[in-house]
Amino acid sequence: MAARRPHTPAVPGKRFAVLDPATGEPFGEAPDQQPDELDAVVGRARDAWHGWRADPAARAGALLAAAGAVEAAGADLAPLLTREQGKPLAESYAEVARTAARLRWFAGLGAEPLTIADGRPVRSEIRWRPLGPVAAIVPWNFPLQLASAKFAPALAAGNTVILKPSPHTPLATRLLVSVLSAVLPKDVLTVVTGHEPLGARLAAHPGIRHVTFTGSAATGRAVARGAAASLARVTLELGGNDAAILLEDVDVERIADRLFWAAFRNCGQVCMAVKRVYAPARLCSDVAEALAQRARAAVVGPGLDPATRLGPLNNAAQLARVERCTARALADGARAVTGGGRPAGPGWFHSPTILADVPPGSPVVAQEQFGPVLPVLPYGSLDEAVEAANGTGFGLGGSVWGTDLDRAEEVAGRLECGTAWINHHAELSLAQPFAGVKESGVGVAGGPWGLHGNLAPFVLHRPEEG
């Protein structure tokens, strides 16, 4: 029997155009939902919550079915994701697979009650309760994967979810929710699409009990201010400016591929991409040249072309930001070892760029470039390198690269961030906590901590004798 092709349900009302980053041209439309629709949406999510929270075994079964449904829809989801996001098709398939894996992982995770035994003649039992309707607001760089990082734990915990994707990438998310709606009870997971102030009004809605947000630090602050009105719980996964520190004994050729893709995957639009490389001064030009070789060899093109390894930036504003950062670095005296601007032709492409001789205060070092441009910076002493790595407001990730693993571990332990890697970067397990420090975030996602981020403890005290 032929598989039923998923379709997204029609929403009456205005629509807005969705653009293909490889051409800059519109190719689809999404509902332009208005904030005054949110009362009804949140009300339905509240009603659906009572049934969804009641039966953990049924929930686990539904989430397992959801994982299977996502896998079965991969051939529909992945090309649509590439079309609106820009990433190479293989990366879209990987994102769909990760979305399914996350649903499966959280389906198997329960929050067991705990008993406190502290010598008192009382049995204190901690039970875990869901919070209510959750607002999940996500950016455009990994629309499906980041959405599932929010709705999989929230649903597994027994909450209902209203998901708001970026207006740059609404279509694959709408299709995903339609696929999931076939196996989840009605109104347990809803998607709303549209422009601001839709997200702001969702974050501030009095019926929402947890706002879980991924995006920029500036928007994160606005979301936290909005949620303060209802005192809903807030989880924020924000930006990063991750440094990679290369040690004196690093084998440059051995690590160059891994380091390059840790910076350039998804065209550098990764919160945990390597955004700055610090190398011992004597190795700096070798490192920059090894990375530049990879940049020259990387095939840049539309994500649907099977040869493409680097797609376009997702949107015109992001391309303009990357161009601004690069132009400013070059004006500040930096040298483009390769790249340095955008190629001729349509679409929001930017050549993969390796910069040397960049002044430390230049925005491409001090801020988050979020694109295919990487500065390689020299250091004199390791203390200097660690201080520079820690010297931004962000604290998402970091990495140390070298041959002596003990030495690398000692240096990695000094990084002020949520996750540090040795000879890798941005490799994440579903089982680990994911949290930034400083301005990179509030709260913890991932693993059992992600589940608990969606639960409240309920403590029952019972005396041993009446």
Is residue 395 part of the contact set for ligand NAD (CB under 6 A)? no
CB of 204 vs ligand NAD, minimal distance in Å? 8
- Compare residues 165 and 375 and give the one whose CB is closer to ligand NAD: 165
Q: Which residues contact 238 (CB under 8 A, 6 or more apart)?
A: 214, 215, 216, 217, 220, 271, 394, 396, 436, 439, 440, 441
Q: Which stretch binds ligand NAD (CB under 6 A): 118-126, 158-166, 352-360, 397-405?
A: 158-166
CB of 196 vs ligand NAD, minimal distance in Å? 5
Q: Which residues pair with 279 in a beta bridge?
A: 378
Is residue 137 part of the contact set for ligand NAD (CB under 6 A)? yes
CB of 368 vs ligand NAD, minimal distance in Å? 6
Is residue 193 part of the contact set for ligand NAD (CB under 6 A)? no
Is residue 271 part of the contact set for ligand NAD (CB under 6 A)? yes
Q: Which stretch binds ligand NAD (CB under 6 A): 161-169, 182-190, 244-252, 397-405?
A: 161-169
Looking at residue 203, its amino acid is: A
Is residue 222 part of the contact set for ligand NAD (CB under 6 A)? yes
Nearest to ligand NAD by Cβ — which residue? 199
CB of 315 vs ligand NAD, minimal distance in Å? 8
Is residue 203 part of the contact set for ligand NAD (CB under 6 A)? yes
| Residue tagged active-site, from 271, 284, 325, 417 | 271
Near ligand NAD in 223-252, by CB under 6 A: 223, 237-240
3-state SS string for 360-418: CCCHHHHCCCCCCEEEEEEECCHHHHHHHHCCCCCCCEEEEECCCHHHHHHHHCCCCCC
- By CB under 6 A, how many residues form the interface with ligand NAD? 30
Is residue 427 part of the contact set for ligand NAD (CB under 6 A)? no
* Closest to 392 measured CA to CA, from 403, 407, 377, 402: 377
CB of 92 vs ligand NAD, minimal distance in Å? 16
Q: How far is Cα 450 from Cα 151, in angstroms, rounded to an integer?
A: 10
Q: How far is Cα 135 from Cα 287, in angstroms, rounded to an integer?
A: 43
Q: 238: burial class by Cβ within 10 Å (0-12, 13-18, 19+)?
A: buried
Q: What value does the CA radius of gyration of the chain take, rounded to a whole number of Å?
A: 23
Q: Which helix (DSSP H) or strand (DSSP E) does residue 26 occupy?
A: strand 25-31
Q: How far is Cα 57 from Cα 43, in angstroms, rounded to an integer?
A: 25
Q: Which stretch binds ligand NAD (CB under 6 A): 90-98, 154-162, 198-206, 275-283?
A: 198-206
Which residue in 199, 303, 397, 398 binds ligand NAD (CB under 6 A)?
Answer: 199
Q: Are 436 and 394 in contact (CB under 8 A)?
A: yes
Q: How far is Cα 208 from Cα 233, in angstroms, rounded to an integer?
A: 9
- Annotation marks residue 271 as catalytic: yes
Looking at residue 348, its amino acid is: W
| Residue tagged active-site, from 84, 91, 95, 237 | 237
Positions marked active-site? 237, 271
Enumerate binding residues for ligand NAD (CB under 6 A).
Answer: 137-141, 146, 164-167, 196, 199-200, 203, 214-216, 219, 222-223, 237-240, 271, 368, 370, 396, 436, 441
